[in-house]
Amino acid sequence: MGLIDHYEGFDWDEGNVWKNWEKHHVAPYETEQALRNEPFLEHDSINYFGPEKRRVVKSRTDAGRYLFIVYTERKGRLRPICTRDMNKTEKKQYDEHNQSNS
């Protein structure tokens, strides 16, 4: 079961939907794939202090691309905020977590 299965779908912000493509060359469908796939690693964002709770997900697309996704929940839907490629340290954390849980 992917992370999205805990929500009623996606809630893309019109202003943000292509921002990830412009900044990080990640298409919306890649974000959605990664949030549907297992395994994934999820935790609270420690660098955000705004009014909404932000979560971080590390997952992979169907093509194996390692993605780092920040999202929030709005009205039972998952709202992606930022998606980028994982850095070397994040990939290592993701792979180690998955090896220890297999």
Q: Omega before 39 cis (within 30°)?
A: yes
What number is the average pLDDT over the span 41-57? Answer: 81
**For 3-85, which CATH class?**
alpha beta
What secondary structure, in 3-state letters, does 39-84 show?
Answer: CCEEEECCCCCCCCCCEEEEEECCCCCEEEEEEEEECCEEEEEEEE
Q: Judge whether residue 34 has pLDDT over 80.
A: yes
Three-state secondary structure call for residue 85: strand
Provide the pLDDT for residue 37: 94
* Residue 68 CB partners (closer than 8 Å, separation 6+): 56, 57, 58, 83, 84, 85, 86, 87, 90
Q: What's the whole-number average pLDDT of the chain?
A: 90
Cβ–Cβ under 8 Å, residues 3 and 57:
yes
The mean pLDDT of 24-30, rounded to a whole number, is: 95
CA 44 centroid distance within chain: 12
